[in-house]
Amino acid sequence: MPAIVRPVCAAEIATKPQSFPAGQAGLAGSGRLAAEVIALVYIGVIASIASVTGAFYVLFPELGALSHDVFTRPRGTWARAPVLLAITPPLAGAIGIAITRTLPYGMLSVLTVVCSSMLLIVVLKSPIAPSISAGLLPLVLGVKSWWYPPAILFGTILLAALASVWRRYWERDHYAPRLADRTEDALERSPHNYRDLLPLIAFVAAATVAAELTNLRFILFPPLVVIGFEMFGHPEICPWAARLMALPVACFLTAVAGLVLFKLVGGNPLTAALAMAAGIAVLRVLDLHVPPALAVALLPMVMDHPSYAYPFSVGIGTLSMTLWFRGWKAVAPRHFPGQPA
């Protein structure tokens, strides 16, 4: 019989975040290794299709984040929502294309994409936060092809089908949930109070200004908004928020790994698999479960001539948001009653 896991309340996680290391969520041992191999093969197949067809956007970077989570956590929030997993990212992608074709890159277009993608998640009651990245990516990269949404749809339908089979297998095999899974499930659900996202929107606006002033668009790299959605949407239970440098270091290192591999090996399916494997290794060493960080490793595969400014932009953006989040948590309880400390 599966182990009975004591329910974990938000207050307990908030007061003892170190007791619930996110890196220990999901499968363990040979089961986790098999799950990660399947995720790598999946990304390799998607990258091969992108290479053969010449449609680079088939390799939507957040597929790395989604595939790793649904295979390593077959009973997780994302894995239990296969229909929303399949349809939410391409719908957000369509929003992104429509806005990119209408407005130039700037504060208005970025906020419109981000807020519209969040609204889509609210309307659909979808837990698939990486869909926000699907909406923002065309604007950041300048993609205007209407083939982008169906390209994402192909990858998400394939992933949802594979994840459903994998989940049924582990339901038969007595996969025992862990305490850390409760934390991750809560983080991946939609926020209970969407007013908590207002400081995130303010950060997005400020980061857009910084990106325009410095000409470093990847200060606001798309997965960063996904990370922020989880942090600000669930400020009381974010287990890695107390580790100030862990998140910026993880994103910086995965960006370095993805860029160096792209420079050395080239833009091919092997590079995609190796970049994701490097990202997995970084998260394991740092004991983090932050799926969007894997998308950071894959982003150079879809960028036009990525430079060494990319990882530094990622590091600046992630550190800035982490400091913003910590500052908000310190200030909000005093000035905004009802906000968690």
Per-residue model confidence (pLDDT) at position 289:
85
Per-residue model confidence (pLDDT) at position 9:
44
- Determine what percent of the chain is predicted with pLDDT higher than 70: 84
13-22, 236-245, 323-332: least confident range: 13-22
Per-residue model confidence (pLDDT) at position 195:
82
Answer yes or no: is 279 within a domain: yes
pLDDT tens-place string over residues 154-183 = 999 999 999 999 998 887 655 555 656 666
190-199, 245-254, 327-336: least confident range: 327-336
- Determine what percent of the chain is predicted with pLDDT higher than 90: 69
Answer yes or no: is 12 within a domain: no
pLDDT tens-place string over residues 270-315 = 999 999 999 999 999 998 889 999 999 999 999 999 999 999 999 9
Which residue type, as a one-letter code, is found at position 10? Answer: A
Answer yes or no: is 340 within a domain: no
85-89, 125-129, 334-338: least confident range: 334-338
Residue 99 has pLDDT above 50, yes or no: yes
Answer yes or no: is 123 within a domain: yes
Answer yes or no: is 14 within a domain: no
Answer yes or no: is 4 within a domain: no
Per-residue model confidence (pLDDT) at position 340:
55
Q: What is the largest CA-CA distance in the chain?
A: 58
Per-residue model confidence (pLDDT) at position 171:
74
Residue 11 has pLDDT above 70, yes or no: no
> Count of domains in the chain?
1
Answer yes or no: is 76 within a domain: yes
**26-30, 55-59, 211-215 — which one is most confidently predicted on average?**
211-215
Among 243, 232, 187, CA closest to 332: 232
Q: Model confidence at 6, in pLDDT bands (50, 70, 90)?
A: very low
Contact 259, 309 (CB under 8 A): no
188-211: b or e for each residue (b if 16 or more CB lie within 10 Å)?
bbbbeeeebbebbbebbbbbbebb
Determine the structural domain holding residue 234 and report its residue range. 19-335
Q: Which residues lie closer than 8 Å to 143 by C-beta, 6 or more apart?
A: 57, 97, 100, 137
Q: Model confidence at 20, in pLDDT bands (50, 70, 90)?
A: very low
